[in-house]
Amino acid sequence: MESLILQHLLNWLVLGSIYALVALGFSLLFGLLNVIHFSHGDVSMIAPFVALGSLQAIFGITGGAMGVLPILAALAIAILVTGLIGIGADKLVISRFRRSPAMMALVATVALGTVIRELIRGFYPQGSNPKAFPAIAQGFLEIGPLRLPAQPVLIVGTTVLVVALMYGLMQKTPIGTRIRAVAEDAATARLMGITPSRIFAFTFFLASAAGALGALFFASHAGVVRFDFGVQLGLIGFSAAVIGGLGSMTGAILGALAIAGIESIVQANIADGASYRLVFAFLLVILMLCLRPSGLLGKPVFEKV
């Protein structure tokens, strides 16, 4: 009984961590650009493929047990590459819509997401098949009387660390100040000698790298990855960011935990729950937005008239 509760709790935290990492990217980018980067989920989902590819290409590993070093190296490469792809997505496509109506940027990024998925499907070896993804940690951890599976603990722990680092970066470092300055008012920031384009590049890197980590965790948690997993992950991450309040990091995390919570509860308590978890998650989204139109922690926008 107790272990069952523990298991649900861990499951909730793992899902919450994954969603939070993706949601943070949406929130960061929205705060900065006021644009919804709808392909964020698809960009993030590149990471597991890069990881699989590098495991194979560099270490010749195609499955089975493997050492810690190759996995760590593959994850690092995947995160780096995905971050750079994020910058590329901005430079190639998103940046061209800075001055267009929001709806155009939205559709453009949706199309970009399709491009990314189709590229993986078409050019990754047997890209349309699901691919087994290795666990990043195996076995159990004994903490006092508790015996916890290692991977979930690792996922949650790493996420807490990464999120803390991101907070520190945004609040305490010069680059964080500059990001916030550009988010507040790009024109004024430019007058103060900040180059917005560099800030954009950095933020896209950061958001995509965080999303990449989320996607890697997602893949190893599920044990499998497919070219189109990014759609759902992106939608959930986006929802988390929105119900938390777009532009607010804390909000994104709360939103992620809320959606993961609903999913876990439904899955644990309702027969056939697994198939309805998305229904409940998105009903929560609708309800939340009706009650709090700018999300949990979002600032209501006042138009100066």
Nearest to 159 by CA among 25, 27, 263, 18: 18
Contact between 279 and other proteins (CB under 8 A)? yes
Min. distance of Cβ 105 from other proteins in angstroms?
9
Nearest to 14 by CA among 201, 188, 219: 219
Tell me whether residue 29 or residue 79 sits nearer to other proteins (CB atom).
Answer: 29
Q: What is the DSSP string of 154-175?
A: HHHHHHHHHHHHHHHHHHHSHH
Contact between 129 and other proteins (CB under 8 A)? no
> Per-residue string for binding with other proteins, 177-206, x by CB under 8 A?
------------------------------
Residue 45 contacts residue 215 (beta carbons within 8 Å): yes
Helix orientation angle between 229-244 and 196-222, rounded to the nearest 10 degrees: 120
Contact between 119 and other proteins (CB under 8 A)? yes
Tokens 């047990």 -> residue: 65
Min. distance of Cβ 291 from other proteins in angstroms?
9
Number of residues lying near other proteins (CB under 8 A):
45
What's the alpha-carbon Rg for the chain, to the nearest Å?
A: 19
> Per-residue string for binding with other proteins, 82-111, x by CB under 8 A?
-----------x--xx--xxxxx-xxx-xx
CA gap 77, 151 in Å, rounded:
20
Min. distance of Cβ 279 from other proteins in angstroms?
5
Q: Which of 83, 86, 251, 295 binds other proteins (CB under 8 A)?
A: 295
CA angle 70, 23, 218 (to 5 degrees): 35
Spell 100-117 as b/e; 16+ CB within 10 A means b.
eeeeebbebbeebbeebb
Contact between 239 and other proteins (CB under 8 A)? yes
Contact between 11 and other proteins (CB under 8 A)? no
Contact between 270 and other proteins (CB under 8 A)? no
Question: Residue numbers of the site for other proteins (CB under 8 A)?
Answer: 30, 36, 93, 96-97, 100-104, 106-108, 110-112, 114-115, 118-119, 121-122, 231, 235, 238-239, 242, 246, 272, 275-276, 278-279, 282-283, 285-286, 289-290, 293-295, 302-303, 305
